[in-house]
Amino acid sequence: MPATLDARTLRDAMSRYLEALDRHREEIDSLNVYPVPDGDTGTNLLLTQRAVAEALAELDGAPMTEVAEAISRAALMGARGNSGVILSQVLRGMCTRLSAHDDPSAQDLAEALAGAAEEARAAVADPVEGTMLTVLRDAAEAAAGTLAEGASCAAVARAALDAATASLERTREQLPVLAAAGVVDAGAKGVVLLFDALSAALDGRDPSVDIGPLGPVGARAGREPFRETVGLEYGFEVMYLLETDDDAIPGLKRRLAGLGDSLVVVGGGGMFNVHVHTNEPGLAVEEALDAGRPRQIRITSLTDQVEEACLAGQARAVREPADIRPAALVAVAEGQGFVELFRSLGAVVVEGGPGGNPSVGDLVAAFRQALAGTVFVLPNHANVIPAARAAAEESPRNVRVLETASMAQGLSVAAVFSADTDDPVHMAQALEASRSGAVVRAERDADTDAGPVRPGDWVGLVHGEKERIVAVGDAPEVVAADLVRSLAGDFELLSLYVGADADAAETARVREALASLDLETEVLDGGQSRYPYLIGLE
Q: Is the pLDDT of residue 46 over 80?
A: yes
Amino acid code (one letter) for 492:
E
pLDDT for residue 220: 32
Domains detected in the chain: 7-211 (1.25.40.340), 236-303 (3.30.70.60), 325-432 (3.40.50.510), 435-537 (3.30.1180)
d(C-alpha 338, C-alpha 527), whole Å: 7
| Alpha carbons within 13 A on the beta-carbon side of 249 | 23
List pLDDT tens digits, range 368-390.
Answer: 777 777 899 999 988 788 788 88
List pLDDT tens digits, range 108-123.
Answer: 999 999 999 998 888 7
Q: Which of 163-172, 209-218, 312-321, 490-499 has the lowest mean pLDDT?
A: 312-321
> What are the backbone dihedrals phi and psi of residue 473, each rounded to the nearest 5 degrees, phi first?
-175, 180
d(C-alpha 100, C-alpha 105), whole Å: 11
Q: Is the pLDDT of residue 24 over 50?
A: yes
d(C-alpha 522, C-alpha 537), whole Å: 11
CA atoms 2, 3, 7, 9: torsion sign: positive
Q: Is the pLDDT of residue 324 over 90?
A: no
For 373-395, b/e burial (b = at least 16 CB within 10 A) is bbbbbbbbbbebbebbbbbbeeb
Say if CB 93 and CB 118 are below 8 A apart: yes
Q: Which of 5-19, 225-239, 308-322 has the lowest mean pLDDT?
A: 308-322
pLDDT for residue 37: 33
Confidence of residue 505 (pLDDT cuts 50, 70, 90): very high
pLDDT for residue 197: 94
Please give the C-alpha separations between residue 72 and each of 18, 68, 97, 123, 260, in angstroms, as whole numbers: 15, 6, 11, 15, 27
Give the mean model confidence (pLDDT) for residues 64-90. 85
Question: What is the percentage of the chain residues whose pLDDT exceeds 90?
Answer: 34
Structure-model confidence comparison of residues 223 and 430, the more confident one = 430
Please give the C-alpha separations between residue 398 and each of 184, 220, 327, 376, 413, in angstroms, as whole numbers: 30, 33, 10, 9, 19
Give the mean model confidence (pLDDT) for residues 419-428. 86
Q: Which of 322-326, 457-461, 491-495, 511-515 has the lowest mean pLDDT?
A: 322-326
List pLDDT tens digits, range 236-275.
Answer: 888 888 888 988 998 999 899 889 888 888 787 788 888 8
d(C-alpha 335, C-alpha 529), whole Å: 7
d(C-alpha 272, C-alpha 253), whole Å: 12
d(C-alpha 359, C-alpha 384), whole Å: 9
pLDDT for residue 323: 43
d(C-alpha 44, C-alpha 34), whole Å: 15
Confidence of residue 224 (pLDDT cuts 50, 70, 90): very low
Q: Is the pLDDT of residue 451 over 60?
A: yes
Give the CA angle between residues 378, 384, 385 to the nearest 5°. 65
pLDDT for residue 453: 87
Please give the C-alpha separations between residue 2 and each of 11, 63, 407, in angstroms, as whole numbers: 13, 16, 59
pLDDT for residue 285: 84
